[in-house]
Amino acid sequence: MLIHIVRPGDTLYKIGQRYGVSAERLITDNAISNPERLMVGQAIVVPVTSVRHTVLAGESLYSIAQMYSVTVDAIAAANPQITNPAQIFAGQVITIPLSDEKIGSIYVNGYVFPGISTDTLQKTLPNLTFISIFSYEVRADGSLSNLNDRPIIDAARAANVAPLMVITNIREGGGFSGDIAHAVLTNEAAQNNLINNILQTLPKGYYGINVDFEYIFPYDRESYNQFIARLTETLKAQGYIVTTSLAPKISADQQGTLYEAHDYPFHGRTVDFVILMTYEWGYTYGPAQAVAPLNEVRRVLDYAVTAIPPEKILMGIPNYGYDWTLPFVQGSSARVLSNTAAANLASSVGAEIKFDLKAQSPFFNYFDNNGNEHVVWFEDARSIRAKLYTVNEYGLAGVSYWTLNSYFPQNWIVLNSMYNVIKVL
């Protein structure tokens, strides 16, 4: 696999001709809605094992090797006509072998809502270790909301994907509630009721549980730790795994309701996997920026691996982008859109796609029909590849996607070119 960045004059036909791939394959693998209109800067995944490269003036085997992430020796071995690697000339056509060796094996989790389409679910499942079905909402008395999870559980099991039950402290009508968490964490009867309800639900076909309690009051930190310890001991005795979702902290003493009750070292010692929610720097009601800028993600990982065994960490990756109206006004909201919809929007409005090297994220600007300027930040094959390299760099267990209800084929092509997906079923 390689990633081709569209240049002026490129068409799908020309790209296909260059790499020996059909335009139809490129359309499918990149979910392109308007094949006649590629945008400059657009990332196109090309499924090939080798490339024919025409040497340009000033290029060397070293610079070409850097361009394709291969070694000079590999290029020389694939081109016996090159007798002196230090002497290549402009116009010479050489073969670039692309490595099909995987970096390693990782765990892959993805959150889904019951409304996921059957087609998207079936195309996504082969790429997963776990599927976390969102969510059973916990009530103050320890009871649980209803969830139509049976179809996803059955489909996951049939595909050898392990379903995880997700519990949240989301109130009726939406929004995480510190009051609900406090009621359950500090009342023994409510907590007993919650654990009993969990034990009654898991036999539906679940492999384990994901606890996603957010905006817990800071003074409930130890109560939350005690609950996680009790739940883990109870469920592991029954053969289930326990995972927790944690806010993206950069230090142990980070201030804020989102962060203070999430005790990285304790969760790292206690549960099987920790999911770091490394996204939402750019969010619905905030100023425009990348959703998961890699420089910020790395700050979280720098702290996380000092507090949690890296082999227990699943790094969060967003499967969405945002469209902001500019200038940003406090109280206004961005429009959420899928990554494929973002690229197709750039095509429909004729916007050049740019790439922020610091954030390792793509973005573009456009004007709507009313003359308002917009900026869209999203993920593409380049940003996904950068994030996945980071998993290997830090020695993490794997990744976790929020959410998988929209299909993003580029992501899975990139991931499967780099890693084998671990299966536990």
Q: Residue 295 has what pLDDT?
A: 98
Helix extents (H) in 206-255: 221-237
Residue 136 contacts residue 188 (beta carbons within 8 Å): no
pLDDT tens-digit series, residues 242-265: 999 999 999 999 999 999 999 999
pLDDT (0 to 100) of residue 230: 98
| Full strand arrangement of the beta sheet holding 354-356 | 335-337, 321-326, 373-377, 361-367, 354-356
- Which amino acid is it at 306? T
Choice between 84 and 207, residue whose per-residue pLDDT is larger: 207
Query: Are 148 and 142 contacting, i.e. CB atoms less than 8 angstroms apart?
Result: no
Q: Whole-angstrom Cα distance, residue 380 to residue 343?
A: 8
Q: What is the dihedral of CA 373, 377, 382, 388, to 10 degrees?
A: 170
235 φ, ψ to 5°? -75, -35
Residues 233-244: tens digit of each pLDDT: 999 999 999 999
- Asked whether the predicted pLDDT for residue 315 surpasses 80, the reply is yes
Distance CA 106, CA 291 (A): 23
**Percent of the chain clearing pLDDT 90 (strictly above):** 93
What integer pLDDT is reported at residue 19 of this predicted model? Answer: 87
CATH placement of domain 2-97: 3.10.350.10
Segment 299-321 shows an average pLDDT of: 98
Q: Is 423 helix (H, G, I), strand (E, B) or coil?
A: coil
Residues 378, 383: Cα–Cα separation, whole Å: 9
Q: Does residue 97 surpass a pLDDT of 80?
A: yes
Tokens 């580029």 correspond to 410
d(CA 289, CA 375): 9
For the entire predicted model, the pTM comes to 0.94
**Residue 99 confidence (pLDDT) above 90:** no
Q: How many CB atoms lie within 10 A of CB 294?
A: 21
Residue 146 has pLDDT above 90, yes or no: yes
**Residue 210: predicted pLDDT:** 99
Superfamily the domain 107-421 falls into: Glycosidases (3.20.20.80)
Rounded Cα distance, 159 and 157, in Å: 5
User: Closest by alpha carbon to 152, among 412, 404, 416?
Assistant: 404
Q: Determine the Cα–Cα distance for residues 255 and 262; give it in Å rounded to an integer.
A: 11
Give residue 101's pLDDT: 83
pLDDT tens digits, 351-405: 999 999 999 999 999 999 999 999 999 999 999 999 999 999 999 999 999 999 9
User: Token pair 């993600």 is at which residue?
Assistant: 297
Residue 52 in this model has a pLDDT that exceeds 90: no
**H-helix segments, 209-329:** 221-237, 264-270, 294-307
pLDDT band at residue 126, thresholds of 50, 70 and 90?
Answer: very high
Rounded to the nearest 5 percent, the helix, strand and coil shares of the chain are 35, 25, 40
Domain ranges of the chain: 2-97, 107-421
Question: Rounded mean pLDDT of the chain?
Answer: 96
Q: How far is CA 86 from its chain centroid?
A: 41
- Distance CA(311)–CA(415), nearest Å, equals 18
Nearest to 2 by CA among 48, 39, 71: 48
Instruction: List the catalytic residues.
Output: 214
pLDDT attached to residue 246: 98
The answer to whether 158 and 139 are in contact (CB under 8 A) is no
pLDDT score for 385:
97
* Complete DSSP assignment for 51-64: EEEEPPTT--HHHH
Asked if 279 contacts 318 with a C-beta cutoff of 8 angstroms, the reply is: yes
